[in-house]
């Protein structure tokens, strides 16, 4: 049997900054190869510190990190070659062209120019930046800048890609196209770790999740199991006729959103059959129905509140 080391293995990671602020209090985390993993947490929880330590921009106080079994402290060069990092803030040279940024990054990873140029063409075409390759980077739009950061992080074909809030501040269209790109990348074998504030993003993309708060992991499980923990689920109904006379649907309390829309909360063990039956009796036709998308948000807030 072949043993595959995890893509990331953090053991008892601690970080105390000089001002005596403790950002990480013994975080241990394992991300398996091929996973699409979400690292969630409120502002100041320690997500960016953890990513900073993995990418060597932050010096750890204690602990151990292995990337595909390679110890970051002992074999730093090999370990770094396995990781690609997309930071939260724009951090490329605003006076260089898109192509130069990518080629320079390839050079820092020991990729010679002819090979780097071929890779740059491939990745920039994938991220739809090839036509802008000679553009000075500061002239790019916000979405393009994000895509440039992803292209740069992928130029050395890392086996583990870490993205710190990659879709922060980009519009829905760009966000959706980035989601598709990342999903395809994960399917092709790249392990992805994502931190995000968009819980919908984590729910849509990730298979496993860890929630970090005040420098500690408060939850580490699969997305499916985590969502199952929810005691109740909310649905929003869009109706073709007015619901002004509606006050209750069987045993379910409803919350009217407007004259044609209402929200129903279904507790664990209950079903929606009675809701449909009552609506039929009242002659109200349903145009559409959808999950309320903040399920994870509710759970997240619950977990963070528990750890407070």
Q: Give me the residues that bind another protein (CB under 8 A), please.
A: 17, 52, 55-59, 76-78, 80-81, 83, 85, 87, 89, 91-94, 100-101, 104-105, 107-112, 152
Overall size of the chain counted in residues: 308
The nearer residue to another protein, 108 or 180, going by C-beta atoms, is 108
Q: Which is nearer to another protein, 194 or 296 (CB)?
A: 194
Query: What single string gives the DSSP state of each residue in 50-84?
Result: HHHHHTTSS--SEEEEEETTEETTTSHHHHHHTEE
With respect to another protein, which residue has the nearer C-beta, 85 or 192?
85
Say which DSSP state 140 is in: S
Shortest Å, Cβ 131 to another protein: 23
Q: Which of 109, 102, 164, 165 minimizes the C-alpha distance to 137?
A: 102
Q: Which is nearer to another protein, 108 or 267 (CB)?
A: 108
Q: Work out how close the CB of 143 gets to another protein at its nearest, in angstroms, rounded to a whole number.
A: 20
In angstroms, give the least distance from the CB of 293 to another protein. 34
Minimum distance of another protein from residue 93's CB (angstroms): 4
> Smallest distance from the beta carbon of 51 to another protein, in angstroms?
11
Of the two residues 81 and 307, which places its CB atom closer to another protein in the complex? 81
Residue with token string 């939850």: 219
Nearest approach, Cβ of 183 to another protein (angstroms)? 24
Q: What distance lies between CA 231 and its chain's CA centroid? A: 24
What is the CA 198 to chain-centroid distance, rounded? 8
**Token pair in block for residue 37:** 């993993």
| Residue 58: CB minimum distance to another protein, A | 5
- End-to-end Cα separation, the chain, in angstroms: 44
DSSP 197: S
Nearer to another protein, 46 or 87 (CB): 87
Spatial contact of 102 and 151, defined as CB atoms under 8 Å apart: yes
Which of residues 86 and 239 has its CB atom nearest to another protein in the complex? Answer: 86
| Contact predicate 30/57, CB 8 Å | no
How is 81-136 classified by DSSP, letter by letter? HTEEEE-SS--S-TTSBHHHHHHHHHHHTT--HHHHHHHHHHHHHHTT-GGGTTSB
């Amino acid at each position: 049997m072949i043993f595959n080391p995890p893509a990331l293995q953090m053991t008892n990671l601690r970080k105390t900054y000089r001002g005596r602020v403790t950002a990480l209090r013994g975080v241990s985390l394992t991300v398996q190869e091929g996973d699409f993993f979400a690292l969630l947490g409120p502002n100041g929880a320690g997500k960016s510190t953890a990513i900073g330590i993995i990418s060597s921009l932050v010096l750890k106080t204690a602990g151990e990190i292995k990337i595909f079994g390679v110890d970051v402290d002992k074999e730093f060069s090999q370990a770094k070659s396995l990781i690609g990092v997309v930071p939260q803030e724009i951090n490329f040279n605003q006076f260089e062209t898109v192509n130069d940024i990518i080629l320079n990054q390839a050079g820092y990873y020991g990729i010679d120019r002819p090979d780097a140029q071929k890779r740059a063409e491939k990745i920039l075409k994938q991220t739809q930046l090839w036509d802008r390759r000679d553009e000075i980077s500061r002239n790019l739009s916000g979405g393009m800048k994000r895509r440039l950061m992803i292209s740069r992080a992928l130029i050395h074909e890392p086996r583990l890609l870490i993205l710190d809030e990659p879709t922060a501040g980009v519009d829905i269209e760009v966000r959706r196209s980035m989601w598709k790109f990342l999903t395809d990348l994960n399917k092709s074998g790249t392990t992805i770790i994502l931190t995000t504030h968009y819980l919908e993003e984590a729910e849509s993309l990730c298979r496993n999740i860890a929630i970090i708060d005040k420098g500690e992991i408060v939850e580490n499980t699969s997305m499916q199991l985590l969502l199952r923990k929810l005691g109740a689920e909310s649905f929003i109904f869009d109706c073709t006729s007015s619901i002004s006379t509606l006050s209750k649907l069987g045993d379910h309390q409803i919350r009217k959103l407007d004259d044609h829309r209402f929200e129903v909360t279904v507790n664990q063990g209950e079903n929606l059959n009675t809701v449909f039956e009552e609506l039929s009796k009242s002659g109200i036709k349903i145009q559409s129905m959808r999950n309320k998308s903040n399920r994870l948000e509710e759970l997240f807030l619950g977990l963070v509140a528990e750890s407070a």
